[in-house]
Amino acid sequence: MVTSSHNKIPLLIYTNQPVNRTRQQKKPHVVCIDDDLSVGKTVESILMKNGYQISLITDPLPGLSLIFELNPDVILCDIAMPRLDGYEICAMLRHSKVFQYIPIMMLTGKEGFIDRIRARMVGATDYLTKPFGEQELLLLIEKYVTPKIRTR
């Protein structure tokens, strides 16, 4: 674990994915951005045992540039985080041509209708409420990854 220079907030950037990967690789790569390490580790456990490659980022501000290097197939993003929330992250990524068509799913404890609308307004592809089950997470990711794999 590394700490960022600003406020000594812990920053975890863990990946089982080589940064310069080629498009011929079969395993879809998921980036999970969540300041709660236990949520990240749960997502990692579920996805790794189901054949996905996963990168965890617990502090999105310094991790934002890394997302561009990782070239993910799917991004899971918490909404409520310090310094930079999920809505801001999603909006920033959607302004880049690289991430215009990459599925970005909000992973959050916020269940309100307004939160869902706001997520859509900033470009989120889908929304998953915490706590979630293993099958619920897998079905959501497979909904967006499977067609992409077939076209590669």
**Whole-prediction pTM value?**
0.81
User: How does residue 9 score in pLDDT terms, banded at 50, 70 and 90?
Assistant: very low
- Asked whether residue 112 is domain-assigned, the answer is yes
Taking all residues of the chain, what is their mean pLDDT, rounded to a whole number? 85
Q: What tokens were used for 20?
A: 């310069």
How many domains would you assign to the chain? 1
Per DSSP, the residues of 36-96 read -HHHHHHHHHHHHTTT-EEEEES-HHHHHHHHHHH--SEEEEES--SSS-HHHHHHHHHTS
- Asked whether residue 1 is domain-assigned, the answer is no
- Asked whether residue 4 is domain-assigned, the answer is no
- Asked whether residue 90 is domain-assigned, the answer is yes
- Residue count (the chain): 152
Q: Is the pLDDT of residue 149 over 50?
A: no
pLDDT digits (tens, 9 = 90+) for 82-107: 989 999 999 999 999 999 999 999 99
- Asked whether residue 24 is domain-assigned, the answer is no
- Asked whether residue 29 is domain-assigned, the answer is no
- Asked whether residue 42 is domain-assigned, the answer is yes
pLDDT digits (tens, 9 = 90+) for 17-70: 544 444 445 689 999 999 999 999 999 999 999 999 999 999 998 889 899 999
Domain that holds residue 76: 9-14+34-151
- Asked whether residue 116 is domain-assigned, the answer is yes
User: How does residue 13 score in pLDDT terms, banded at 50, 70 and 90?
Assistant: low
- Domain harbouring 131, CATH code: 3.40.50.2300
User: How does residue 1 score in pLDDT terms, banded at 50, 70 and 90?
Assistant: very low
User: Under DSSP, is residue 105 helix (H, G, I), strand (E, B) or coil?
Assistant: strand
Per DSSP, the residues of 58-74 read S-HHHHHHHHHHH--SE
Buried b (16+ CB within 10 A) or exposed e, 14-47: bbebeeeeeeeeebbbbbbbbbeeebbebbbebb
